[in-house]
Amino acid sequence: MDENVNPIDCSDSPFRSNPTLPAGFDDDDELLNADIITGTAFSKQWLFTVLMKLIQEVDKQNEPGNDDSEFGVDVNEDLQDELCNLWDMSMNSDVVVFMHEFKSVELLSAVIVKSRAPRVTEICVGILGNLSCNPTVCSEMSTNPEFINMVLLLLENPDGLCLVQTVRLLYCCLQSEEHYLPWVAAIKDHEANILELVKFIMASSTNVELLKNVGELLNLLFYLEDELCERWSTTAMLTAMLEAVKEIGFQPCPALEVFIHNFQLMSCSQNGVLALENMSQPILEVLMKYLMFLCDEPIVPVDLKAKYLAAILSLINLIFLQGSKFDIGSFYKIDMFPKCLFKILEGLFPYIYHPVESSDSDGNKPKKKHHHHHHHHHQQPQQHSLSVVEDLASFKRYQWKKEISGCDPSLAVLYKALHSSFLRLSWLIPKHNESRERERERKKERSYSTKKAEREREIMKSSTQFLHYLLIRWDER
């Protein structure tokens, strides 16, 4: 077909531009708003125009003898820009309702099946992702087996940007409590193929957004289906996940945290425990790097990171218990891990414990001797610094009243995980007769930086005392 012979491109086409309004037209609100999608400033006519252009462009790509029939040839930039505008519009709930009435799901699905243009496919799938947030549209998608199969087939698409939107669309539909079952059933029907595709994407993609989306998809599937979590929690899956983590990097970020949570979900299955034991060394490396980055902050934001810190500590505790393939003793004696635990404790302590005056029955020194200090702290019990190290001098003068019941649930979970980690650590606290090797390390530290080394040893010594104090008084039920 000759590109010039295209009714859409004719300058006098009603779709090209709106004609001049006739006299008196602007006085009639009903007529004036006839072209506007209800509740928006968007034009129905413009939307029709873009969709018609899209259909014609895709039909042209599929004409016999067209040399551009292979996947990878995109449409012109003007149409791409218009499609991107439509994509943005589809975030508007009123536009979604109108597009649903216009049977846009069927139309866009047909375009996706026929299209040879990666950006067209990406945009159309992205629009479908926005439409799927509407319960009615999601219901229509989820009751159409052909649509579900089309989406699953798109996981084989070699284009990374298309995959980003495909995985997002899958996630949106699986997230619907009312409509996720047909999607799970379809995934199980093609389980072997989909599992391999997911592992391949994680092991080979350099697109962090795609890796994050795939991680979130796995997270949701593991949460929804215990059977899938059990079957997919393999060493091969962990290996692919670790490749994804290498690409994402070890600094705390949402993408990495999704995978940390996935490791924890896998640890809830029998196969997952075995896989984690087999991969304990690289898993611990990831967990410790995350901890070290986070604990390098002046104050660990436990209120924001409680879920992931609890996951990390739970995983380390699990590996400790399973530790036949890893020298967990030497790991726990690494200085950084105890320091990280105390940094987390420092951030968590104000949420869990509140200071009250000690009584003689607690076995502490008489209150009279520390009356001045008691008075000072008692005036503002919530304002103490709660820097674990700075407050060590006063911990014997106070009872620390535990108020975990009123805490945010994620902080309570972190508290329990931290307690378990402290118990593990307490088993490995060095005796007074330290080994010669440890003594040599101390001398090396002193020669490197006397002040810094002395300060750190002082902190660790005080922290160990504080640890014992806490463990003695920890009233677990």
Residue ranges of the domains in the chain? 1-22+31-62+69-189, 345-473
Beta bridge partners of 43: 36
Cα separation, 454 vs 459, whole angstroms: 9
- Quick one: pLDDT at residue 132? 97
Average pLDDT over residues 180-188: 97
Specify which of 13-22, 42-51, 420-429, 466-475 reaches the highest per-range mean pLDDT: 42-51
- Quick one: pLDDT at residue 384? 41
Mind giving me the DSSP string for 69-97? -STT-PPPHHHHHHHHHHHHHTTSHHHHH
- Quick one: pLDDT at residue 423? 75
CB–CB of 319/271 below 8 Å? no
- Quick one: pLDDT at residue 452? 55
User: Whole-model pTM?
Assistant: 0.75
- Confidence at 396, pLDDT banded by 50, 70, 90: very low
Q: CA Rg, the chain, in Å?
A: 31
Q: pLDDT digit string (tens) for 107-156? A: 999 999 998 889 999 999 999 999 999 999 999 999 999 999 999 999 99
Average pLDDT over residues 251-265: 97
- Confidence at 275, pLDDT banded by 50, 70, 90: very high
- Quick one: pLDDT at residue 184? 97
Q: Which stretch of 77-81, 253-257, 271-275, 387-391 has the lowest confidence by average pLDDT?
A: 387-391
354: phi then psi, degrees, rounded to nearest 5: -135, 140
Percentage of the chain beyond pLDDT 70 is: 66
Tokens standing for residue 260:
């940390």
- For the cut 70, the answer to whether the pLDDT of residue 429 exceeds it is no
- Confidence at 56, pLDDT banded by 50, 70, 90: confident
- Quick one: pLDDT at residue 4? 40
Cα separation, 276 vs 319, whole angstroms: 7
Cα separation, 259 vs 312, whole angstroms: 11
241-249: long-range pairs with CB below 8 Å, 24+: 241/202, 241/215, 242/279, 242/282, 242/283, 242/286, 243/202, 243/203, 243/204, 244/202, 244/203, 244/205, 244/211, 244/214, 244/215, 245/286, 247/205, 247/206, 247/208, 247/211, 248/208, 248/211, 248/212
- Quick one: pLDDT at residue 223? 94
- For the cut 80, the answer to whether the pLDDT of residue 475 exceeds it is no
What is the CATH topology of the domain spanning 1-22+31-62+69-189?
Leucine-rich Repeat Variant (1.25.10)
Q: What is the dihedral of CA 457, 460, 465, 468, to 10 degrees?
A: -150
470: phi then psi, degrees, rounded to nearest 5: -65, -45
State the Cα angle at 471 between 466 and 474, rounded to 5°.
120
State the Cα angle at 119 between 116 and 122, rounded to 5°.
100
Q: What single-letter amino acid sits at 465?
A: Q
Q: What number of residues does the chain have?
A: 477
- For the cut 50, the answer to whether the pLDDT of residue 395 exceeds it is no
150: phi then psi, degrees, rounded to nearest 5: -60, -45
- Confidence at 48, pLDDT banded by 50, 70, 90: confident
Cα separation, 17 vs 5, whole angstroms: 18
- Quick one: pLDDT at residue 199? 98
Average pLDDT over residues 164-183: 97
- Quick one: pLDDT at residue 229? 96
Q: Kindly give the interhelix angle for 208-224 and 191-204, rounded to the nearest 10 degrees.
A: 140
Percentage of the chain beyond pLDDT 90 is: 46
43: phi then psi, degrees, rounded to nearest 5: -90, 130
The residue assigned the tokens 């799901």 is: 105
CB–CB of 342/387 below 8 Å? no
Tokens standing for residue 274:
């075995």
- For the cut 60, the answer to whether the pLDDT of residue 236 exceeds it is yes
- Quick one: pLDDT at residue 438? 59
CB–CB of 388/346 below 8 Å? yes
Beta bridge partners of 291: none
CB-based burial label for 21 (10 Å; 0-12, 13-18, 19+): exposed
- Quick one: pLDDT at residue 339? 82
Average pLDDT, the chain: 77
382: phi then psi, degrees, rounded to nearest 5: -95, 0
Specify which of 38-47, 180-189, 424-433 reaches the highest per-range mean pLDDT: 180-189
Q: Which stretch of 52-56, 344-348, 387-391 has the lowest confidence by average pLDDT?
A: 387-391
- For the cut 90, the answer to whether the pLDDT of residue 19 exceeds it is no
Q: Which stretch of 54-63, 406-415, 447-456, 465-474 has the lowest confidence by average pLDDT?
A: 465-474
- Quick one: pLDDT at residue 435? 52
- Confidence at 210, pLDDT banded by 50, 70, 90: very high
